[in-house]
Amino acid sequence: MINKIKVSLCLIAFLFSSLNAHATDDSERAPDPADVTRVLTSVRVFMGVNSDDNNIAGDIELKLAGSFNKDNNFLTMLEVSGAEKESDPFEDGFDLREIRGRWFQVFGTGNDVMPKVGYSLDVIDRSNDDSELVDNIYAIGGVAKVPVLSNYVMYPNIALVQANLKDEYKKVISGSDDGQGIQLNVFNSVYLSKKGTYLMIIPQYTYLDFDSFKTQDLLVESRFGTPLTDDRSFWFEASYKETFSDIDSDTPAVSDVSFEARDDKRQFRVGVRYFF
């Protein structure tokens, strides 16, 4: 509980610090959700379904942006996710599933090949979801902006990850401990119109070692977005996620799995984002 309070206080401090910071440079003010390195204040509300059971799910995301100078911008993010898990014996109805906080800082390089680089610190709390093996996830990573074509930009991202296994599972799964590993992402943004309409394809690979078993996850996410107003302050957005998992286990308490689709991780979302 004390650790959660500390994390919450840190997030609140980050949020208030961004409110008191300088505004970002005017050339970076045009809303563009497909630009991973563009930091702007926004709020997003998503609704959709999870898995083949069509469990109702929803997400609320708040981003607050600021700038230390024109080449040193930052973003704080808080996201809350809820969902049903009717087929899970440990769950009953719609409930809070995940709280995520992020600090993201991005720097201009003056290099046309790689005009921006940045780093992020993430904290994910899943302690309220009894169906998850992992309690909290911590990650630190770096990202770069790499223009490829006039309408195609790539954002490679690499992160070190720690996933804390819940205490009750450490007791059941002998020889297991908190997981450490790596995550690789490539955000591929393709612009479909001059208004900013975009399509993103995002493959993500995660490897975690829990001592007595190792996991690999390949998540493929597709996103679509288009502005609803001429000033691009309101956007319609949609996303679809598919996850394939592999488990290599040295303990009878965890079964081996060979890169099969995870029905419980399948997600579809639609919603609106507002930049202000």
Q: What is the pLDDT of residues 191-237, one digit of tens each?
A: 999 999 999 999 999 999 999 999 999 999 999 999 999 999 999 99
Residue 170 CB-half CA count within 13 A = 12
pLDDT at 92 (0 to 100): 66
Q: Which domains does the chain have, with CATH numbers?
A: 2-275 (2.40.160.40)
Section 241-250 average pLDDT:
94
pLDDT at 154 (0 to 100): 98
User: What gap in Å lies between CA 236 and CA 127, rounded to an integer?
Assistant: 31
Largest CA distance in the chain: 58
Which residues have C-beta within 8 Å of that of residue 229, sequence separation ≥ 6?
none
Section 31-37 average pLDDT:
96
User: What gap in Å lies between CA 147 and CA 153, rounded to an integer?
Assistant: 4
pLDDT at 23 (0 to 100): 40
Section 255-266 average pLDDT:
84
Tens-digit pLDDT profile for residues 83-102? 887 766 666 678 888 999 99
Chain centre to alpha carbon of residue 102: 9
Asked if the model's pLDDT at residue 22 lies above 80, the reply is no
User: In terms of DSSP bridges, do strands 179-191 and 198-209 run parallel, antiparallel, or are they unpaired?
Assistant: antiparallel
Task: Out of 22-26, 55-59, 173-177, give the one with best mean pLDDT.
Answer: 55-59
pTM of this prediction?
0.85
Asked if the model's pLDDT at residue 261 lies above 50, the reply is yes
Among 15-19, 41-45, 139-143, 228-232, the range scoring the smallest mean pLDDT is 15-19
Closest Cα to residue 140, out of 175, 114, 102? 102
Asked if the model's pLDDT at residue 124 lies above 90, the reply is yes
- Provide the percentage of residues in the chain whose pLDDT is more than 70: 87
Could you tell me which residues are beta bridge partners of residue 66? Answer: 74
pLDDT at 263 (0 to 100): 78
